[in-house]
Chain A
């Protein structure tokens, strides 16, 4: 064990590896991202620095003084009062109290308000309640407070929504019908998101966090980008954060476009220009964690993807680093050693503008 270091697997389990094994995983992880995204691998110096971060003997590591960045928050106060399904800790508290706890108790740089379902669609019937809560929160808080929710196109398909499930249609080889269903769902989601944010902006909301864009594939991205465009046109000063769900946009439809650009198959450095064009002023690139690989492999891969997105971007990039993304283990309470190593690496090597 003398020449071995504690690292984590992608599921959070503690393992030990030699320096040579760690470096091999770093090279392999970076090469995998470079191959998939057609982007540069990390340089030798960058891999050395990443190895030093991972092999640091301390449990907690941090950025050098002066390198600190803002940490934006998703999921809202559901982290406090939500159930395990949202990784909530089940403390009964109002959403105002939850938001203020993040601001005053946890040192959050921004916060967001979210509905308990955390999708846009179910907000429609309770929009007045959301406006009232947003108004109370804005009156009591100092840090930027966005409204956060998932585009979640899945809720527009049967049995939860009005349009036939494209998965069922594809199984029956009804490809054109499946595509039409995705297009209808996308247009409805755009309309719903825009309508919800129109109401919230009227009561003083700072802006919107689109959380997990693309979770339902390219239709989800299509709906989100057109909603951003509509909101930017109507509210020139609105804060728009575009947080992605995955490293690659899945082509559930395959031919959907935004302003002439096909959405399917885009990697983070190709997603960010479209978010910019749509009107976002913050982008959250994602790289998904592979639970069967080491944290060295996952972190090198994530830093490689993120660095390329940061370089391609003209707007601030706040990399998504929740459970199972950005080199963080896929585990509800990710080990602090793994989180702080990933955090430092993203700031000091990928050059992110925030997390």
Chain B
């Protein structure tokens, strides 16, 4: 059932830019259009591109913010989130903890 929703209406997570839009909704209480505008400006794309896998694949790899397939050398997990923090100008809790631990 969740996959039916994702196919019908979803931004499809890391396939495109769904995780980035969701982060802005949670981080800054942004409604959907505000969150999409914010993320698209940060990425330098149109809002319609945020759900476009073709556009977002290259951008995600270039910015090293996590890609769906397992590309050797690309940032994964917490490393990708540390790049997302810088891109979106937000703080992510686990990245703060990582910095605390690593000094």
Is A344 touching B8 in the complex (CB atoms < 8 A)?
Answer: yes
Chain B's closest residue to A75 (CB) is B2
Once the chains are docked, how many angstroms separate the CA of A328 from the CA of B11?
20
Q: Give the interface SS of chain A, mostly helix, strand, loop or mixed.
A: loop
Whether a CB of chain B sits under 8 angstroms from the CB of A110 is yes
Mark out the residues of chain B between 1 and 27 whose CB falls within 8 Å of any chain A CB in the assembled complex: 1-16, 18-19, 21-23, 25-27
A108 close to B2 (CB less than 8 A): yes
Tell me if A291 counts as interface (CB < 8 A to partner B).
no
Specify the main secondary structure of chain B where it touches its partner. Answer: helix
A349 within 8 A of B: no
* CB of A43 within 8 Å of the partner chain: no
Contact with B along A60-104 (1 / 0, CB 8 A): 111101111111110000010000000000000000000000011
Check: B81 CB closer than 8 A to any chain A CB: yes
CB-based A-B contact count at 8 angstroms:
179
- Does B14 contact A142, Cβ atoms closer than 8 Å? yes
Instruction: Take A140-B77, A204-B98 as given contacts and tell me if A107 and B6 are in contact as well, using a CB distance cutoff of 8 Å.
Output: yes
List residues 42-59 of chain A with CB under 8 A from any CB of chain B.
Answer: none
- Residue B29 at the chain A interface, CB threshold 8 Å: yes
Q: Please give, as numbers and ranges, the residues of chain A lying within 8 Å of B9 by CB-CB distance.
A: 62-63, 67-69, 71, 343-344, 346-347, 355
Residues of B within 8 A of A202 (CB): 97
Is A144 engaged at the interface, CB distance under 8 Å to the other chain? yes
Chain A residue with the shortest CB-CB distance to B3: A106
A237–B7 CB distance below 8 A: no
Interface centre among A109, A241, A281 (most CB of B within 10 A): A109
Q: Chain B nearest CB: distance from A96 CB in Å?
A: 11
Enumerate chain B residues within 8 angstroms of A334, measured Cβ to Cβ: 1, 4
Contact of B10 with A109 in the complex, beta carbons under 8 Å:
yes
Q: Of the candidates B4, B13, B32, which one forms a contact with A108 in the assembled complex, judged by CB atoms under 8 Å apart? A: B13
Residues of A within 8 A of B51 (CB): 65-66, 68
Binding-face segment, A116-124, A176-184, A248-256, A316-324: A316-324
The contact sample of 26 A-B pairs, CB cut-off 8 A, is: A66-B51, A68-B12, A68-B51, A69-B10, A70-B19, A70-B32, A104-B14, A106-B3, A107-B13, A109-B10, A109-B11, A109-B19, A109-B21, A138-B94, A139-B78, A142-B19, A142-B80, A204-B93, A204-B94, A282-B25, A322-B1, A340-B8, A353-B31, A353-B35, A355-B9, A355-B10
A residues touching B (Cβ–Cβ < 8 Å)? 60-63, 65-73, 79, 103-104, 106-110, 138-144, 201-207, 237-239, 241, 281-282, 314-316, 321-323, 328, 333-334, 336, 339-340, 343-344, 346-347, 352-355
Sample of 18 further A-B pairs with CB below 8 A, known A70-B11, A109-B19, A139-B78: A66-B48, A66-B51, A69-B9, A69-B10, A107-B6, A107-B14, A140-B76, A142-B65, A144-B22, A201-B93, A202-B97, A204-B97, A205-B93, A237-B93, A316-B30, A336-B4, A347-B9, A353-B32
